[in-house]
Amino acid sequence: MLLGMSQQKLARTIGLSFQQVQKYECGNNRIGAGRLYDLARALDVPVSFFYEGVIPVPLEPAKSAKDGAGNDATVAAHLGAPIMNRETLELVRAYLRITDPQLRRRVFELAKAIAKL
């Protein structure tokens, strides 16, 4: 989505059906290492791109937010890896379209301030 590539075009590029790409995206089918490599090449990203933002699940139970001990890893695990949802991708695309560096920085600071509420 960030690259503006449709699922159909991606499917054609890697020699799959559109439906198979949908199954990968929705998590209905697992992606093997070879297919992940093909996807990375088609999208012109390193394989590590697919692991960015993945936060390991803590081995010990997370402390409650009431204790003030919540951290980014706990929040991300609780929210179900929000980096992977459509709303997050759309937000990033909109943010990247802001051409004025000063305005982009102000939007960034605003988002950080709202997140602390």
Q: How does pLDDT run across 66-89, given as a tens digit for each residue?
A: 444 445 555 555 455 555 567 777
In 3D space, the residue among 5, 55, 44 whose CA is nearest the CA of residue 25 turns out to be 5
Write out pLDDT tens, residues 103-117: 999 998 998 899 887
- Model confidence at 98: pLDDT above 80: yes
Does 52 or 22 have the greater pLDDT score? 22
CA angle 26-1-72, nearest 5°? 70
d(Cα 25, Cα 23) in Å, to the nearest integer? Answer: 5
The DSSP secondary-structure symbol of 3 reads: T
> Which DSSP category does 63 fall into?
P
Q: Which fold has domain 1-52?
A: 434 Repressor (Amino-terminal Domain) (1.10.260)
CA 96 – CA 82 distance, rounded (Å): 18
The alpha-helical segments, DSSP class H, found in 1-117 are 7-14, 18-26, 33-43, 72-79, 86-96, 101-115
pLDDT tens digits, one per residue of 25-42: 888 888 889 999 999 888
Q: What is the pTM of this model?
A: 0.47
Categorize the per-residue pLDDT at 46 as very low, low, confident or very high, splitting at 50, 70 and 90: confident
Is the CB of residue 70 less than 8 Å from the CB of residue 62?
yes
Range(s) within the chain of domains with CATH label 1.10.260.40: 1-52
Q: Please report where in the chains the tokens 């989505």 appear, as a residue.
A: 1
- Residue 117: both structure tokens together: 């509420």
59 or 34: which leads in pLDDT? 34
